[in-house]
A = this chain, B = another copy of it.
Amino acid sequence: MAVLHHSLDFILSSPGTILSVVSGLSVLNANNVLKKVHLSRGYEFIGIHFMFALLRVHSHGVVTIDLQCYQEDSIAEVDNLLNALEKKLKTLLNGNIKRIKRLPALIRGAEVDRYWPTSDGRLMEYDIDKVVYDEDSAYQKIQILHSKQYGNILVLNGDINLAESDLAYTKAIMGSGKENYAGKEVLILGGGDGGILAEVKQKPKMITMLESLHIDQKVIDGCKTHRKTCGHTPMDNLTVGTALILVEDCVPVLKKYAQEGRTFDYVINDLTAVPISTEPEDSMWEFLRLILDLSIKVLHPSGKYFTQGNGVNMTDALTLYEEQLGKLSCPVGFSKEVVCVPSYLELWVFYTIWKK
């Protein structure tokens, strides 16, 4: 049973009148609706109603109201109380209101969690109605959540990874439809959800997919069972047609390829986003640089390396990534594209990198 947290805020045009608001509120106090208490820096009224109510008059001219009730409570009763409070405050603050804001209730402690913030930490409420898969592997927490509009969403360690609606992601990380994969050597790092394999339209010479152990067998299992995007891909077999899938950590395999002088026309890095940390010495950055350097080593001189970056607002992390590109053992050029991936609820940056 979830706690529904309602809020209703008044922003006043002139904070100077705040004391008259407090004295006006004594009506609520006398009627036993709210009880005046002194707690911190403002003026607080605590509700002794059937639900928890808090009204705070902030001295700089904001009045905040919080109501916490339960999902089982009568919606009408809660709405009535909020409407009554809004009406009373409107009368009391007559002519002094700049803005009134009533937010959709926060749903707290629910069986199914609906809040998954963007990369820049903004609050987003998804229409999640079911947890389809929830497993902890040795490496990470793997969840597949069902959204009414986005279909099944893969969530790794609390980060939205990809939903069934997100063909735009797969297209972007494959070069936005401008590449011809026919007869080409393709290397995919990651891609355990099978989306890229399903989207290769032309017949390459060979696709080698390195699904690192860190994104693990349990992810492949969960996606195979619960995601339409990977329903009929070669995921079911380790080698089907032109695809070779190695469930192995990509680093030693990349090192071996580099030593053998093997090259690829396309390297698609679908492993991880650019780390959010802006400390370039962070272990996440070291891992990213290692993969990047090895990938460029196995890239054919006329080949292309595709990867995702991060949310478009993560400018510091993106700049740091671009700085790393200048420090690789082979000099590289790059371009970037901003793409709307439906379930991300934010625009996402993708990179194309090539040998200079």
Contact = CB atoms under 8 A, between A and B. Distances in A.
A64 B109 contact: yes
Interface residues of A, number: 60
A122 B126 contact: yes
A342 B346 CA distance: 8
A190 interface: no
Interface in A90-119: 99, 101, 103-104, 106, 108-109, 113-115, 117
Interface in A326-350: 340, 342, 345-347
B11 A109 contact: yes
Contacts of A149: 312-313, 346-347
Interface stretch (A19-27, A52-60, A288-296): A52-60
Contacts of A11: 109
A120 B127 contact: yes
Contacts of A42: 52
A39 interface: yes
Interface string A126-153: 1100000000000000000000111000
A106 B345 contact: no
Contacts of A312: 148-149
Interface string A32-53: 0000010111101011111110
30 contacts: A3-B64, A5-B7, A5-B64, A9-B109, A37-B46, A39-B48, A39-B52, A40-B52, A41-B50, A42-B52, A46-B46, A56-B68, A58-B109, A62-B108, A62-B109, A64-B109, A66-B66, A101-B109, A103-B115, A104-B123, A114-B122, A123-B123, A124-B124, A124-B345, A127-B313, A148-B312, A149-B312, A340-B340, A340-B342, A342-B347
Closest CB pairs A-B (n = 7): A62-B109, A122-B125, A340-B342, A123-B125, A104-B123, A149-B347, A149-B312
